[in-house]
Every structure is written in C-alpha cells, then in structure tokens.
Amino acid sequence: MEKFITDVLIIGGGLAGERAAVEAAMRGHNVTVLSLIPARRSHSCAAQGGMQAALGNTAKAEGDNIDVHFADTIKGSDWGADQDRVRLFVEAMPWVVRQMDHWGIPWNRVVPGKFTYFNKGQKLEAEDKKEKEGLITQRDFGGVSFWRCAYTADGTGHTLLYTMDSVAAKYGVKVHDRLEVLSLIHDGTNCLGAVARDLRNGTLRAYLAKATVIATGGFGRIYGKSTNAIQNEGTGCVIAMDTGKVPLGNMEAVQFHPTAVVPVWILVTEGCRGDGGYLLDKNDHRFMVDYEPAKQELASRDVVSRRMMQHIRKGLGVDSPYGPHLWLDIRHLGKQHLETKLREVLDICKYFVGVDVITQKIPVLPTQHYSMGGVRTNIDCAVYGLRGLYAAGEAGCWDMHGFNRLGGNSLAETLVTGWIAGSKLSEFIKNEFDVSFSDKVIEEAVAKQQARIDRLVNTKDGNESVYALRTEMENVLLDKVHIFRNGPALEEAVKQLRDLLNRAKKLKLNSDGKWANPEVALALKLPGMIRLALCITYGALKRTESRGSHYREDFPARDDVNWLSRTLAYWKNPDDELPTFEYEKPVITELPPGSRGYGESKVISADKNEGGKK
C-alpha cells in the first residue's frame, strides 16, 4: 500500500474541484487532486451555454441586477432552495465572471451597434451602446428575466476548465489521475482522507489530508440514457453515504434536459433556444406557444421537458427507430450565427447523427442531465456529519437549486462553491484542525477495500453478471422514475431495486479481476449505484407532491403545507435495504413561496414563511 500525505485532498478534477484546489493553494496549503481521468477531460468541459451573472452590459440585460437574479433562481427552484445560499451566490457571480476574465477566459464581448434577435417567434432588433464596447456580453436562457448568461460561443465549460487547470498548475496543485476513490478514511467524527484504487494496475493507495473535498460531479449514468459523461456514476455520493454519518440531500430531484440529441443523448445547449430556436412537433407546429405563452421555449427546464413529453403522449411526436422524438429548429438563426456562436452544436450534430443544422432540424428528447441532490452541506460547503469534509459543485447539495436548476447556474455554482470550500477549509485547517492520524483507522480502511476486491476475484458461488444488473437498474429508473412519476410505478421500482441490491451481493466476474480491469471497477461501484437509485426512488415515493423536476401524476400540486422541506437520506448500516429519511426546512429569508409565473401553477399554500410538517 502506498501512502500519500497532503494538507488538502480534492476528490474530482473538474471545475469545482480545481477551483477549490486553487483557492487552497493560494492560501498556502499543499493540495492534491485525485481524478478518474486527466483533469482536462472532466465533464465540466462538456458544458456549452454559459454562466449566469447580473452584469447588465448588453442592451437586453439593461435593468438586470442581483435581486432579479435572486428571484429568478428561487422561482426556478420551486422554493426548494436555501435563500441564504442563493443570496451569497448572486452577489458573488459578477466578480467571479470578472475573475475568470482576469485569469484568461475569452468571453464573448459587446459589439456596439444594432443587432437582430428572436423572441417568441419574432425577429426583433436592439442596439448595444458604444460605451459598452468590449464588455462581457450575455445571452438569453430559460426561466430568467433578462439576458444574463455570459458565454464563450457554445464551449464555455471547455474554456473555463482549461483555464482553471492552467491556474492550478501555476499554483503548484498536484493532480494524480486515473485513480478511483473507493472510500473515505474516517474515525466516525473526522474525515482523514480516502482510499483510492490505481486504475493502471489495481493497487490501493491511502491519501491522508487535514481537509477533504468531494467534487466528483453528478450521478447521471445510473440512468443509462444521460447527457453525462461515462464517468459520472455518483462516486462522491456513494463514498459519503457509505460512512453512515453523511446524508444526501434531495436525491429525488433529478433534472431532465429538454434537448438531448436522439439517439446519442449528447446535449445541445439551451443557448439554442436562448438564441431563438424553436421546438416543433411532427407537423412542424411550435407547441410551446400553446402550453407556455409567456415563456414559450424558455420556461424552466422541468416545465419544458414535461410539456414535450405531454405533447408526445398526445401522439404528436416524430416516429423513429428509437421511439418518438421532437424537433429543435435553429435553421432560421442563419449560417453565420451557427458557425460562430453555436459551432459546437453544429459539430455535434454533424459528426454524431449526420444532421446539418444549417439546413436540417435536430431530433431531440428530454434526457437525464443533472442532479440537484448530492452530499448535503452547510453554507460553508462543510458536509453534515464529518469534520474536515467538504463538497462542491454538482456532487454537493449546497442547495441553491432546490428542485430545479436554471440553465447557466451550474458552471456558476462550481466556481462559487469551489471558492467557498477552498477558503473555508483553509480557515478550518488553520484554526480548528486538531486530529492525529491513527494508523489503525487507516489500515482498517484499506484492508476493508482490499477484502472487497479479494471477495470479488476469488468468489466461487456468485452467479450474477455485473453488466446485466447494471442494465436492469438503468431500465428501472428509465421506465418508472423518469419525468412523470406515480405511486404504483415507484413502489414497483423500489421492490425491483431492493432485489437488485441483494443480487449484487452474488456477483461473478467473467475476467480474472487483475490489473487494469473495468469489470472489477464496475463491480466495486455497482452496489453503491443501486443504493443511490434507491435513495432517488424511495424519496420520490415518499414525497407526495409535485415540485420542480419531481412530478407526481397522482399528486400534481406543490404542497407547501406538508412538503416545503428537504429530504435527507442516510444509509446508516451496510446491510440496510432502504435509506433512512429525515427532513429539514429550506432557509427562507426574503421571498416567501408563491407562483413561479410559468408551469402548471398548482399550489397548496402554507402560511407565510413556515416550512412543511415533514
């Protein structure tokens, strides 16, 4: 066993992880980042559209401010977000965007003069002022009141991640890649680091740290059909949950993005609709005008995805070998616009499905995209349950998104929570850290993981295929825990997933299990992935209301009397077949629950600022 000691351990090499690493390194700490893949290939790189900040530079952003950004975010969350976090976030974002500008991001800029844009199907004209020339410009996105999304064409995540990785190198951050973390090292009170498996040769390593950050991204790949990269399997959530001490927040809140390309499920940015793209049915009818006359294609993602599926249910989808889909039409934006501001969309459609977006429509369907749930933290990004453990980005439930994230607030959150985690853990190390590393605790943590590997490799009585079980799990979620949910389907899903969890105790490898072995890697992860699926499904079954992305057809109203609350899911004992739930009220400081101004708008109201009974 190799042992590594550092001040700060970051699990995850994406944007949140590297931002936390940079902040800690700038404050004088030694920092090591663990990554499944080379950091620049992290899923942050795939984000296209941009990040929200109330700058007000372009003509269509005049009048915007942080208070409007705050209100838009709370409404988007369907009042599930913690408002103190949202206030901190919106106040930070203008300087965060400018800090990234200072570090080298080539933001699109204001060009003075008249320009044309599309709104609600009309081609309109506006004019940017000469005095704004060269300032950071912005585009329209769903669920917002003004153009607020700063962008670099449609490759914003790419430019942000490459820039942040360069800054991390400048400050001496060490990145150890091709490593998968199997567990946290802890003594029941303090997090002391992590056990990782070297994917090159299968050996284990112990990483010891004064503070540890979980920044592993989302868990979308447990759904199978997802816009997430293949490595997004929920590792951070699993290792936190497996401590028995740390809760996961709002796991039933799963976002489905309206425009994944059929049949490859790669995202095309919300910027397509923000720039004026249309959603069409099999008759080339713009159906969002009928469902959402105020916001149309730019309602929040949960609303647009539901409207699309409702329309398909009416028989108005486009038949294909992969099932019915709808069309995204951006042809009218013009060749120059598509080749400059949406050039990545152009390439994705051309190379993956053979569609020329300049002359052809794009086949799209709502697909799992983002997890509002994650490792629950306080406002300082410190995780509930273990000292010295933090979480940032999509892996965490800092909870500025509630039950629906607005487009452009994800890249933004990675930078804000990365900054907060890095700064607060530095304060913790300097002022509070008082733990000695126990050899016994470390050795037991490593031995436990080695024993898991040995059982998998040496078992003679297993009869279950890891790949077959994974496919069954994916199908349960896709069939019964999707955009529309109901009690009987969720009950059946819980039953099926519990059965899969028991069957996962009897895995049989088809390989020898040695060296760089992907079958062993999946076999080690699969039980945790099924437990995550149970947290989502059982949480959705218990939540008898509809809020944001969680839509119960048998309980179609948002119930602020009983369910103005956040789910906290614990897996307290390894042999448990279901999570244990607790509930806490969201922090409501400024904007009491009310109408979102779009969507179904069925609400059972609570009195003033009181949270739910749960």
* Catalytic residue numbers, as ranges: 257, 273
Q: If DSSP codes are grouped into helix, strand and coil, which group holds residue 285?
A: coil
User: How many residues appear in the chain?
Assistant: 614
Q: Which of 575, 249, 508 is nearest to 385 (CA)?
A: 249
CA distance 537 to 495: 10
DSSP symbol at 315: I
Q: Which of 611, 614, 605 is nearest to 557 (CA)?
A: 605
Greatest pairwise CA separation for the chain in angstroms = 75
Q: Which of 564, 547, 565 is nearest to 556 (CA)?
A: 547
- Give the H or E element holding residue 429: helix 409-431
With a CB cutoff of 8 Å and minimum separation 6, the contacts of 481 are: 254, 489, 490, 493, 533, 536, 537, 540
DSSP symbol at 145: S
Three-state secondary structure string covering 335-389: HHHHHHCCHHHHHHHHHHHCCCCCCCCEEEEEEEEEECCEEEECCCCEECCCECE
Tokens of 325: 């889909």
CA distance 184 to 143: 38
Provide the terminal-to-terminal Cα distance of the chain, rounded to the nearest Å.
46
Tell me the residue type at 352: F
- Output helix, strand, coil percentages for the chain, rounded to the nearest 5: 40, 20, 40
Question: What's the CA angle centered on 409, arms 405 and 411, to 5 degrees?
Answer: 125
With a CB cutoff of 8 Å and minimum separation 6, the contacts of 89 are: 73, 400, 409, 412, 413, 416
Q: Give the count of alpha carbons within 13 A of 583, CB side only.
A: 14
Q: Which of 524, 416, 424, 506 is nearest to 93 (CA)?
A: 416
Pairing of strands 2-11, 326-329: unpaired
Tokens of 268: 């095309």
